[in-house]
Chain A
Amino acid sequence: MISESEETRVTEFRDYLARGGKVEATDWMPDGYRQALIRFIEMHANSELMGALPERDWIMRAPTIHRKLALTAKIQDEVGHAELLYRLVEDLGKPRSASIEDLIAGKGKFHNTFHYATKTWADVGTIAWLVDAAAIVSQHALRDSSYSPYARTMQKICWEESFHMMHGRDMIITMMNGTAQQREMAQEALTRWWPTLMVFHGPDTPAEKDKDISVWHIKSKTNEALRQEFLNAQVPRLREVGLIIPDAELRYDEQRERWIYSEPQWDDLRAIARNQGPATAERVGFRRMSYEDGQWVRDTLLQRHSTTTAEYIA
């Protein structure tokens, strides 16, 4: 049982997590854990919401009705995931409106790949295949999270996302089986996106220095372990359809049982962490515009809430 002194309580809580203990929304938790969860899950929520924007631009340009349906469904999923995750953040104490306001003020963080512009239809396939593959690796590992509401949400999200990667891979393979121009387009997209994928999981931080792993057990795998898992699964898949990965150093070291690659572009990632990516201003601006455009909807709903509340009281 957890005792009354605050310090002992925190120590006992940390021991509980170290033993694989699980936490629910209605359980007591130290403020450090709560803040770490808010920061972590809010960034995840922002990424789901902002991730819808690069793909949204292509709905009207999708080449077939099947692609259009799939792309629309994927975007609907991403926005739905954002909503589920903002709810978790809200139960931890930060209202959804505060998260969105931080985001549109340029203070919110979101995944690096969504700070870049999309140029061709092949970008849509590359994002759906490889960005989703990178995200799925992370999300799978989060199903063991110490915070159970988050772990269960990950289970739901992973299940819903199972088709996203297939949809993207199908697009790219179709292009690779097409004309020389289509192949070129797919290759050009991969060449452009590869560096962003190599920094996607973050720098190689040892587990003991990553508090989200070693102290709070929010995640269970290191950044490097996730990157290796991503490379393991996707490098052969890219190569078998004739795509060339733009890294001359990339090879599997049988002895060390890991992928060797040239130093990723960490400066680019640092710039993005300061919200200074190539398309950051445009994306955040678009989100701000749609938030402001939607104000009348929120006002109407709020009015509806006060009316129904009044009815209960009367």
Chain B
Amino acid sequence: MSDFSGNILGQPMPSASDEGEVFEVFQQDQKDPFPHHGGNVRAPDGELAVHYAREFYGRRQESSRLWIIPRSALLEVRTQTPLPPAREMFGDGETQVNAAQSFAVFGQKQAGRPLVWVQDLEEMAPEDAEKVTRRTAQNIEGGYVRLWVCPRSAILELTNQDLLQPPLDRSYRRLDGYNIREKLRIARQRVQAEKELSS
């Protein structure tokens, strides 16, 4: 299971493949130490995937960095997963990675939590990357439930702050953008006055 073809995530979902490819999205805010998994988008190609990811994972200025990774480039390493893998999702993927290169590793510490970037691996063959990832998973305290690994070169990165943190007035999106306390005071006063009047 060391090749990146036919891996569990790389298999395009049945019948959706003609409508584009799925890209996993990792996001990072100024206060996040590392990128964490946000969700995914389906897009016709990488360029549009970056735009979609910005729209779905960055329009609320919640990200200062986005990593967009085609599923076909991801390999899932399962270590302590309580359930078996979805076997029907295995198949012949299309992305073959043969040459030695560097890899990024993401891990899930606890079931249900999002995966978070763990480390980059120096230039090595893909089969070694999987072995090293598996070893890392066991060595780190507490271990990982599952890990994802992908070639560093497969990550599309968006850090353009003009796109992610545009200098616009977004006060209408914020709770403190509404002067509701003062309005409530006036409303309560009116209701109270009406009550006194009728009694």
- Docked-complex contact B83 and A13, CB < 8 angstroms: yes
Give the residue name and chain of the A residue nearest to B174 (CB): A163
* One of A1, A26, A151 near B8 (C-beta < 8 A): A26
| A39-71 interface code vs B (CB 8 A; 1 in, 0 out) | 000000000000000000000000000100110
A170 to B186, CA, bound (A): 13
Interface centre among B13, B21, B83, B85 (most CB of A within 10 A): B83
Q: When A22-B112, A90-B13, A302-B44 are in contact, do A240 and B180 touch as well, CB less than 8 Å?
A: no
Total A-B residue contacts, Cβ distance less than 8 Å: 137
Q: When A26-B8, A148-B112, A167-B178 are in contact, do A176 and B19 touch as well, CB less than 8 Å?
A: no
Q: Please, which residues of chain A bring their CB within 8 A of the CB of B60?
A: 160
- Docked-complex contact B16 and A27, CB < 8 angstroms: no
For the residues of A in contact with B, the DSSP-based class is: helix
Q: Please, which residues of chain A bring their CB within 8 A of the CB of B194?
A: 242
Q: Please, which residues of chain A bring their CB within 8 A of the CB of B184?
A: 173, 240-241
Tell me which residues from 26 to 58 in chain B have a Cβ below 8 Å from any Cβ of chain A: 38-42, 44-46, 48, 55-56
A301 to B172, CA, bound (A): 33
| B156-192 interface code vs A (CB 8 A; 1 in, 0 out) | 0000000000000000111101111001101110110
Decide yes or no whether B98 CB sits under 8 A from chain A. Answer: no
Min CB gap B39→A, angstroms: 6
Q: When A242-B187, A301-B48 are in contact, do A84 and B85 touch as well, CB less than 8 Å?
A: no
For the residues of B in contact with A, the DSSP-based class is: mixed
Chain B interface residue count, Cβ-Cβ cutoff 8 angstroms: 53
- Docked-complex contact B187 and A29, CB < 8 angstroms: no
Min CB gap B190→A, angstroms: 7
Decide yes or no whether B68 CB sits under 8 A from chain A. Answer: no
- Docked-complex contact A304 and B44, CB < 8 angstroms: yes
- Docked-complex contact A177 and B41, CB < 8 angstroms: no
* A-B contact sample (5 more), CB < 8 A, given A70-B172, A160-B60: A16-B83, A21-B111, A24-B146, A26-B76, A84-B39
* Interface of A toward B, CB cutoff 8 Å: 1-2, 13, 16, 21-29, 66, 69-70, 73, 76, 80, 83-84, 87, 90-91, 93, 95-98, 148-149, 151-153, 156, 160, 162-163, 166-167, 169-170, 173-174, 176-177, 240-242, 301-302, 304-305, 308
Q: List 30 A-B contacts (CB under 8 A).
A: A2-B83, A13-B83, A22-B111, A24-B111, A26-B85, A26-B86, A29-B83, A66-B172, A73-B173, A76-B59, A80-B59, A87-B22, A87-B40, A90-B13, A93-B14, A96-B19, A148-B112, A153-B39, A163-B177, A173-B180, A173-B183, A173-B187, A176-B187, A177-B190, A241-B187, A242-B190, A302-B44, A305-B44, A308-B44, A308-B46
